[in-house]
Structure 1
Amino acid sequence: MKITSLTNSHVKDWVKLLTKKGRDRQRKYIVEGAHLVKEALNSTNVNIEHVVYSEDKGIPNELLEYKEDRWISVSREIMVKCSDTKTPQGIFAVIHIKNWGETSLFNDKALVVVCDAIQDPGNLGTIIRSADAVGASGIILGKGCVDLHHPKTVRSTMGSLFHLPIVERDLNEILKKVENSSIQVINTSLQAESNCYEIDLTAGSWFIVGNEGSGVSPELNHYVNKQIKIPIEGQAESLNVAMASTIMLYEALRQRKYRV
């Protein structure tokens, strides 16, 4: 299939996916670039509607073997219109937003990151990549978090958003479900007595990480039953939220899989 007109109905729908309103209404989003498209094509968790490539650039060599009927060739003008970058990469996929279940988040060995108003796409992307890398059970996004399907967030995940459950929930409601369970709810505090290397992270653990400027919302501290600190030996005042999350996730992985 080939499209050359900017007024084509498909093109109009794709352009709308550059806005949150359009993504929410269509329940779809765009991933751009050969790497992300390939990650999506290789994932069993992804429902791809179309793969769209620029007629003048052609299909990247590493994707030639995947070509099928749902692939659409478009003019350079359409590719520019549907991209949020100054220099379009020449290929994108239109993907249906997946409704992940919560089952994996509540088992007695669950490893989950609860994100409270994380606003920077790069930070959220790094948290998702780190959670994916350690084999975490999933991510929970609360109110005020940057849109998971915003093009900048999607790019920053480097494809990890395809690999593990990421759910958007009211944090008060979902934290109530684990309040009297065996799952420990943890956040970091400079005033905590124990550091992240001293507590047992082999049990089910949910890490609450907060906004870049204001931290975890005060009302969520009610659900925290363990506070820990990340040791800082130098003169840095603190670590950013993505780095702190990564350290905690990897300490949990070390305790669970790599104890000496």
Structure 2
Amino acid sequence: MSLPPITSIHNPKIQRVRALLGRRSEREEQSAYVVEGVRLLEEAAAAHLHPQLLLYTPDLAPRAQQLVHTFQKAGVECLPLAPALFASVAGTESPQGLLAVLPLPASQLPSQPNFVVIADNLRDPGNLGTLLRTSAAAGAQALLLSPGCADAFSPKVVRSAMGAHFRLPMWAAAWDEIAAWIHQHSLSVFLADANLGQPYWQVNLRPPLALVIGSEAEGPGPQSAALATGYLSIPMPGGVESLNAAVAAGILLFEVARQRAAA
């Protein structure tokens, strides 16, 4: 017998989801975050992740219904919500009637790193999510998050990353911890800077390295500059002063991938 849809916003499980969507402190305290939408939950299922809770509306499309059945068979608690309640809880403007609470992943950094990305005070959630997705696509092994970065598990970052959370390890750490890890593994550190360094295609990016991406507004900070062994620039013949951080990252990340594929 199917369960009746939850209709009250005061239901404890609904209150929990709202708190996780709205506050970083709740995500950190509960060690959990929210993933919403069919595509992202298909990615989670493909990665064999086990949600703590799945909420759905009874009027799902067949593709979404199949996901509910998949998680139910895996023993996930799956609860129906009245559509109006789901719409008031969801973090998207056009909700697909499906969201899940997932545990925050453990930081499993590579034991022999040769290509990692450091986000230096990257505060914009959209930029951080795009950086995460692009890093995964280019074959980076991890994303290190310096103090001051946006919360990697906020709803906007999760949506922008389009499933990269399930593929790319992340580690939020203090600068001294990041520096110690970089030195332990003897990585060269390259900073992207509009005004310093050689054009990126003239630099050998095949050896083990960390690529630092700073915010568009402020650029690399003093802590990452202290780590730097080299700078990369992106020449802009059009006279534009700077690129969006995520766009610049895409250019440089895929240059690393190109050089290594051609080696």
TM-score, normalisation: structure 1: 0.90
Q: Give the 3 Å change call, closer, same or farther, for CA 180–140 of structure 1 in structure 2.
A: closer
Match of 2:6 among 4, 7, 23: 4
Q: 1:127 aligns with which of 121, 124, 131?
A: 131
* Structure-2 separation of matches of 1:249 and 1:188: 11
8 Å contact from structure 2 (residues 216, 243) kept in 1:
no
Matching of residues 37-48 of structure 1 within 5 Å: 37-44=41-48, 46-48=49-51
- Please report how far the alpha carbon of residue 181 of structure 1 lies from its aligned counterpart in structure 2 after TM superposition: 5.0
For residues 143-202 of structure 1, the C-alpha deviation after alignment (integer angstroms, 9 at most, x for no partner) is: 111111111111000111111101111123211332375310010233434221111111
Q: Does 2:107 correspond to 1:100? A: yes
Match for 1:61: what amino acid?
P
Report the CA distance shift for 1:64/1:190 in structure 2 as closer, same or farther (over 3 A): closer
CA RMSD in angstroms comes to: 1.9
Aligned residue pairs: how many? 253
For residues 181-229 of structure 1, give each alpha carbon's deviation from its aligned partner in whole angstroms, at most 9, with x where no partner exists.
5310010233434221111111111011112311111232111011121
Structure with greater helix percent? 2
Quote the residue 2:203 is aligned against.
199
One-letter amino acid of the counterpart of residue 108, structure 2 = G
In 2: Cα distance, 1:180 partner to 1:51 partner: 41
In the alignment, structure 2 segments of 5+ residues that lack a partner are: none
Question: Which shows bigger deviation, 153-162 or 62-71?
Answer: 62-71
Of 42, 54, 57, 2:57 maps to 54
Amino acid at match of 2:56: Y
Q: 1:199 to 1:253 in 2, by over 3 A?
A: same
Query: Displacement, 1:65?
Result: 3.3
> After superposition, where does 1:167-186 map in structure 2 within 5 Å?
167-179=171-183, 181-186=185-190
Q: Percent identity?
A: 28
TM-score by length of 2: 0.89
Deviations 1:29-56 (A, max 9, x none): 1111111111111113x3311221112x
Runs of 4+ in 1 over 4 A off after TM superposition: none
Aligned partner of 2:129: which letter? G
